[in-house]
Structure 1
Amino acid sequence: MTQPPRLPLRSDDRDRAPVPRDPHRVQDVALIIIAFAVVLFLLVQARFLLISLVTAIVIFSLMSDAISFIARARIGPLAIPNWLASIAAVVAIAAALLSLTSIVLAQINTVLITTLSYADRAPEAIAALFSWLGENTEAAVLNSLQTVELGGYIRALASQAGNLMQGTVLVILFVGFLFAERVWFSTKLVNFTGDPVQADRVGRIIGSIIRRVNRYLAVKTLVSVMTGIMVWALAGLFGLELAVPLGILTFLLNYIPNIGSIVATAMVALVAYVQLGDPAATAAIFAITGVVQFVNGNVLDPMMMGRALRLSSFGIIISLAFWGAVWGIPGMFLSVPITVAAMIVCSEIPALRPLAILLSREGLPEPEITPAPPPNA
């Protein structure tokens, strides 16, 4: 019995025909997901070590150009040896980091001790902010705040602050090893890539990352210092007991993009309301602090930063949320330098260039790498 001839598929039947799946593509996607999960697990488990390492790399990049300039300087016929300049840099960095850590820890302890003394007054003061909603709402807020174990949170913060000195010592060790290896960095890069041209390209990419991160940190430090001084002067003018700690914490929080200035403003207003108990004075402090943060963060900061950063605001928020979830508060401080490095690296890899476009502000993630000089130059 002969089978009937098979009719050709119509165009609509061909459209409905199942498309065979590529098993290799599914396998690649699964491997990428597994690799991301493993990397995320390692980032979380080794966060203390990795945070210290990334901080050391940022500090090393800040001081590397200065050390190279000092090493090229001459005092008459004498030149400063590279090893002597490196040792002097490590000693200066160690002294600065230890001094800064001691100051921050002292101010944190002052804030924690003062917070304990305000612990009895704080619930009533905060609940009074909701008095315009009615007595029932104010009573509900007061009951909720009284159930919070403030002492437990303060002890947890104190224990985390104690790790700051350990991290500082580890950062100093990492910086010392980086300075010891910097002399052979170019040779290692050539041997690693196996091509002097490729090594030069990688070196210029790293130089672009260092220049952008250095400019960002320099501008951010200057603006944060100005903001901290203004907040300290404002708090002192209104007679707040925590004027100095508020200025220092404002300086530190301003390194956290977008969110840090909001937290600092709310913190100053809350301290003012708990201590003074005067809504008019608190509103004045809140308004002046908000104006200072807005002008410094949205006018002065972009004007001084120029096009050095070129990061998307949405990309900064996503990076802030990711690194904050992975590394906590230190991750928030390091989120922008890490994102700058990631954008520049992704812009040089064709497969990752779409990610660099998403991270850039204008969709132009060019790293602005300094071109290599001509051979006869």
Structure 2
Amino acid sequence: MILFLLVQARFILISLVIAIILFALTADAITAFSRLRIGSWKITNWLASMAAFTLIAVVLLTLSAIVISQVNSVVTTTLTYTDQAIAAVARLAALFSPEAEATVEASIRSIQVSSYITTLAGQAGNLLSATTLVILFVGFMFAERLWFGTKLENLMDDKDRAARVGRIIHSIVRRVNHYLLVKTGVSAATGVAVYLVMQGFGLDFAGPMAILTFVLNYIPSVGSIIATILLALVALIQVPEPATALLIFVIAGMVQFMLGSVIDPMLMGRALRVSSFGIIVSLSFWGAVWGIPGMFLAVPIMVAIMIVCSHIPSARPVAVLLSREGLPDFGDEDERMGAPANPAKPVSNQAAE
């Protein structure tokens, strides 16, 4: 039943999860701004919330407009490259078997490329509907945030339990925010590098490929590989010499390796101690349930599940399996927040000890 509801309500649920992440990213900033004073005038919580909501709405609508315009540009230009793309793929097949070139070319020509491109354009049009829904969700969350603490306390019916749940939520928000900020910075740097490489070689689709690389780098492990392969295929279609396409592939691979395998782990530190195998399983599951958006959200959801399970004794084995070293405890951070030293133990047991 849960899987059925996840699949059937995926459009609303994906928008809701994205809205929660955006709300969590700005909640701490709003609290910090609401404490500022400009002379005798103090920035109120309401004013800071309105400013953050306006900024989120403007950024989301701007990004949606950019993506839609780039998709339209690709749709109008791709049809002119259809024959070149078929010939390029056939040349690749000829490297393995000369007899396969004609067979591969005939098979590709039987595919209705125009229908797939039209479907892609239609899917891009749904982006505006999803963006509007996310903005509405974020707006109502900002309206409710002032009473969240009171609601949580009344829901738990215990101030100590409510405070502990609040610390767990804060731990999830802090770690997911750190992951998203680092991932956004690294993905943006990778997208800019891809744009500069394509511009340097005089290739078309530099803007769309930079945006696609930026988006795909949010998918751990798999996304950077797909982005590099797509860039090599785009280069192979446009340049006459395979050696030039290979050079572009090598440069893009080196950029992805340096930023994804060196800079990214160094900036991420130990804030995201999740199992690599668990990431692949999470990508597969959420990709099957929610498609490509589910793959983007797989790691934040996995981090949240691991932290919650690490604070519940009966669910602790799940947290151990999801963690990288089998050590899902976050005792040092929780102690700085005022939480018990070992969150896996009930509060009553710690008091007795």
The bucket for the TM-score relative to the shorter chain is over 0.9
| Counterpart among 66, 69, 90 of residue 32 in structure 2 | 69
**Which residue in the other structure is 1:296 paired with?**
259
Q: Per-residue deviation at 1:327? A: 0.6
| Counterpart among 205, 212, 216 of residue 242 in structure 1 | 205
**Which residue in the other structure is 1:222 paired with?**
185
Is residue 125–residue 277 contact of structure 1 (8 Å, CA) maintained in 2?
no
**Which residue in the other structure is 1:129 paired with?**
92
**Which residue in the other structure is 1:261 paired with?**
224
Q: Per-residue deviation at 1:104? A: 1.2
Whole-angstrom CA distance in 2 between matches of 1:112 and 1:261: 23
Q: Per-residue deviation at 1:367? A: 3.5
Q: Per-residue deviation at 1:370? A: 2.4
- Structure 1, gaps ≥5 residues long: 1-37
| Counterpart among 345, 353, 358 of residue 321 in structure 2 | 358
SS of 2:66 mapped into structure 1: helix
Residue type at the aligned position of 2:274: L
Q: Deviations over 1:188-237 (max 9, x none)?
A: 00000001000000000000000000100110011011111111000001
Whole-angstrom CA distance in 2 between matches of 1:268 and 1:165: 26
Residue type at the aligned position of 1:246: M
Worse-superposed segment, 365-374 or 336-345:
365-374
Residue type at the aligned position of 1:356: A
SS of 1:277 mapped into structure 2: coil
SS of 1:121 mapped into structure 2: helix
The reply to whether residue 252 of structure 1 matches residue 252 of structure 2 is no
| TM-score (structure 1 length as normaliser) | 0.87
The reply to whether residue 174 of structure 1 matches residue 137 of structure 2 is yes
Is residue 205–residue 367 contact of structure 1 (8 Å, CA) maintained in 2?
no
The reply to whether residue 334 of structure 1 matches residue 304 of structure 2 is no
The reply to whether residue 370 of structure 1 matches residue 342 of structure 2 is no
**Which residue in the other structure is 1:141 paired with?**
104
Whole-angstrom CA distance in 2 between matches of 1:104 and 1:54: 21
Q: Check 1:145–1:248 CA distance in 2 against 1; reply closer, same or farther (3 A cut).
A: same
Whole-angstrom CA distance in 1 between matches of 2:122 and 2:283: 24
Worse-superposed segment, 297-306 or 243-252:
243-252
The reply to whether residue 100 of structure 1 matches residue 63 of structure 2 is yes
SS of 2:143 mapped into structure 1: helix
Q: Per-residue deviation at 1:84? A: 1.0
Residue type at the aligned position of 1:370: D
Whole-angstrom CA distance in 2 between matches of 1:217 and 1:122: 35
**Which residue in the other structure is 1:10 paired with?**
none
Residue type at the aligned position of 1:77: S
The reply to whether residue 325 of structure 1 matches residue 256 of structure 2 is no
* Aligned residue runs from structure 1 range 76-87, under 5 A: 76-87=39-50
| TM-score (structure 2 length as normaliser) | 0.93
The reply to whether residue 212 of structure 1 matches residue 183 of structure 2 is no
Residue type at the aligned position of 1:305: M
**Which residue in the other structure is 1:164 paired with?**
127
Residue type at the aligned position of 2:108: L
What RMSD in Å do the two structures reach over aligned CA positions? 1.2
Whole-angstrom CA distance in 2 between matches of 1:340 and 1:40: 20
Whole-angstrom CA distance in 1 between matches of 2:155 and 2:201: 60
Q: Deviations over 1:308-359 (max 9, x none)?
A: 1101111111101111111111111111111110110111112211111111
Is residue 310–residue 361 contact of structure 1 (8 Å, CA) maintained in 2?
yes
Larger radius of gyration: 1
**Which residue in the other structure is 1:117 paired with?**
80
Whole-angstrom CA distance in 2 between matches of 1:157 and 1:322: 23
SS of 1:310 mapped into structure 2: coil
